[in-house]
Amino acid sequence: MKITKLTTYRVPPRWMLLKIETDEGVVGWGEPVIEGRARTVETAVQEMEPYLIGQDPARINDLWQTMYRAGFYRGGAILMSAIAGIDQALWDIKGKVLGKPVYELLGGLVRDRMKMYSWVGGDRPSDIIEQIRTLQKGGFNTFKMNGTEELGMLDTSAKVDEAVRRVAEIRDAFGTTIEFGLDFHGRVAAPMAKTLLRELEQFRPLFVEEPVLAEQAEYYPRLAEMTSIPLAAGERMYSRFEFKNVFAAGGLSIVQPDLSHAGGITECLKIASMAEAYDITLAPHCPLGPVALAACLQVDFVSYNAVLQEQSMGIHYNKGGELLDYVINKEDFKIIDGYCNPLPKPGLGVEVDEARVIEASKNAPDWRNPVWRHDDGSVAEW
């Protein structure tokens, strides 16, 4: 079998799907994308084509190593997202050729169902109580929200109180009948992280995500020393070579590689098993589309340390397109009592509605995240 064609489709709300065709008619789908940089990743995918056209799609490991090493420069959000989507599509082809879901090719199920969580609250966390109540009816009992609005590198007690009050209200309303993670989203700089973690400790959030920016990872062990709140990070780290330093330095209890940013299934499997050696749990990042989620679930169902899976249904980013819009086998993505079952179909387990994708790609928006500014006019971390 030989790879004959790669086609990318940028689609609402902010995703990109990749179709890889072969000379025997088997097609694989991937989701190579960096939110807000879809066109850049699209070009990176096109620049990878010479390594792929005419090659045997079964040789995923060699194709992965070639894409990673042959261009001399390596790593980073754009190149690793391009490789990620291509890798997903190659695993999709392999599973379809062998008639098995990818998890069967990786040693079979390590669990019967996977715990999912849902975002609440939006960019500037609001209406959280109501949104939790609504999602509880849909079976969710685990949530994530932004921990703060814009926050200066050094900010006021009033801002800290605002963040704490929001969490206190959640615990007042729901007690321990629900769990929730707080995403600091890179908005909290090191000078504020300790204060916020100390003040939030009493409410026992399930985790605090990106307690400081990934480029400040050396703070993770120091912050972990002063809090019992599990610290999580990983969506802005792109290969096992980045994660290895964080594992060795310590401080993280949860790693969150993104299956569409960190080299795909081939790379994230390696990250997951490295994490397990350090007793670190896995909670793949996935505010993206259905192919990305399907790839996450394939890794979740073979990784012992996988504990939570993000999914984007209802997320505040999904304006103009929703996760299941592009899926034919919607029923396989049903979340039952907050869990997802293994995807039964061969490959990644998602039947892409190609006609819908092609139609939607005709007017794909160039999504960008907002550029926030502090009161003094300086740019704020979003």
Ligand X SMILES: O=C(O)[C@H](O)[C@@H](O)[C@@H](O)[C@H](O)CO
Supply the minimum distance, in Å, between the C-beta of residue 22 and ligand X.
31
Q: Please confirm, yes or no, whether 316 is among the known catalytic residues.
A: no
Of 185, 261, 316, 374, the active-site residue reads 185
Site for ligand X in 188-227 (CB under 6 A): none
Output the CA–CA distances (angstroms, integers) from residue 178 to 28, 119, 170, 171, 284, in the order listed.
38, 13, 9, 9, 20
Query: What's the closest the beta carbon of residue 301 comes to ligand X, in angstroms?
Result: 21
Residues with Cβ < 8 Å from 230, sequence gap 6 or more? 206, 207, 208, 253, 254
**String of DSSP letters for 77-102:** HHHHHHHHHHHHHHHHHHHHHHTSBH
- Closest by CA to 253, choosing from 216, 287, 223, is 223
Task: Pick what 103 binds: ligand X, Mg ion, none; C-beta below 5 to 8 Å, kind-dependent.
Answer: none
- In the block, tokens 């397990």 appear at 276
Per CB under 6 A, does 183 bind ligand X? yes
Question: What type of residue is 163?
Answer: A
Residues 43-62 that bind ligand X (CB under 6 A): none
User: 266 or 318, CB closer to ligand X?
Assistant: 318
* Binders in 310-349 for ligand X, by CB under 6 A: 310, 317
* 199 marked among binding-site residues: no
CA geometry: angle at 31 spanning 96 and 258, to 5°? 110
In this structure, are strands 379-380 and 372-373 parallel, antiparallel, or unpaired? antiparallel
353 binds, among ligand X, Mg ion, none (CB under 5 to 8 A by kind): none
Q: Does 32 contact ligand X by CB under 6 A?
A: no
Q: Of these, 19, 37, 185, 187, which contacts ligand X (CB under 6 A)?
A: 185
**Residues 187, 153: Cα–Cα separation, whole Å:** 8
Q: What tokens appear for 69 in the block?
A: 């090493």
Return the residues of window 249-288 that contact ligand X according to CB under 6 A.
285, 287
Side-chain-side CA neighbours of residue 350 (13 Å): 31
Catalytic status, residue 261: no
CB 237 within 8 A of CB 257: yes
Write the single-letter amino acid at 285: H
Q: Which is nearer to Mg ion, 183 or 353 (CB)?
A: 183
Look at residue 35 and give the partner it binds from ligand X, Mg ion, none, a contact being a CB closer than 5 to 8 Å depending on partner kind: ligand X
The entry of Mg ion, ligand X, none near residue 300 (CB within 5 to 8 angstroms by kind) is none
Q: How far apart are CA 373 and CA 377, in angstroms?
A: 5
Q: Which residues pair with 144 in a beta bridge?
A: 119, 181
Of 46, 157, 363, 369, the residue at the interface with ligand X (CB under 6 A) is 369
Residue 235 assigned ligand-binding role = yes
Give the Cα separation of 382 and 184 in Å (integer): 10
Q: Which is nearer to Mg ion, 92 or 183 (CB)?
A: 183
Q: What's the CA angle centered on 29, arms 24 and 31, to 5 degrees?
A: 155
Interaction between residue 87 and ligand X (CB under 6 A): no
Cβ distance 207 to 230 under 8 Å? yes
Residues 174-233 that bind Mg ion (CB under 5 A): 183, 209
Nearer to ligand X, 67 or 286 (CB): 286
Q: Is 381 in the site for ligand X (CB under 6 A)?
A: no
Q: How far is the CB of 235 from ligand X (least distance, A)?
A: 5
| Residue whose tokens read 């964080």 | 246
Residue 42 annotated as lining a ligand binding site: no
Rounded Cα distance between 143 and 121, Å, is: 10
Of 119 and 326, CB closest to ligand X = 119
- Positions touching Mg ion (CB under 5 A) are 183, 209
**So which residues are the catalytic ones?**
185, 285
- Positions touching ligand X (CB under 6 A) are 35-36, 183, 185, 235, 285, 287, 310, 317, 369
- Sequence ranges of the binding site for Mg(2+): 183, 209, 235
- Sequence ranges of the binding site: 183, 209, 235
